[in-house]
Amino acid sequence: MGDINVKRFGMAFGATFGILYLGCVLVMYAVGREVTILFFNSLLHGIDVTSIIRLNMPWWEMGMGFIEIFIVGWLTGATIASIYNLGSGKAEKT
């Protein structure tokens, strides 16, 4: 097994998190408040999200959220790749 490229794996995770974020935004704007609450209550194992759902988010705040979730995704992917590479034993052989 080869090493995982940390930057590429981080980018893949960041892009995936970003796509999921945009999917969340689309669900919220497409179906309205009540269906959004039902959807996320089901997704989060019955946690009631009624008090935290707001559909009047400004575009710049949504953009900041996208950037933030991309960074979190990138860091998650890079961390996973780094731990995998560390555990693969390749560093010990060189």
Residue numbers of the domain that contains 83:
6-87
Structural domain contains residue 94? no
Low-confidence ranges of the chain (pLDDT < 70): 1, 90-94
Is residue 70 within 8 Å of residue 7, measured between CB atoms? no
Report how far residue 16's alpha carbon sits from residue 7's, in angstroms, rounded to the nearest whole number.
14
Per-residue confidence (pLDDT) for residue 88, from 0 to 100: 79
Report how far residue 37's alpha carbon sits from residue 44's, in angstroms, rounded to the nearest whole number.
10
For the chain, what is the domain count? 1
Question: Sign of the CA dihedral 17, 18, 19, 25?
Answer: positive
Structural domain contains residue 71? yes
Model pTM?
Answer: 0.80
Structural domain contains residue 92? no
Structural domain contains residue 93? no
Burial of residue 60 (number of CB atoms within 10 Å: 0-12, 13-18, 19+): exposed
Per-residue confidence (pLDDT) for residue 1, from 0 to 100: 63
The pLDDT tens digits for 26-41 are 989 999 999 999 999 9
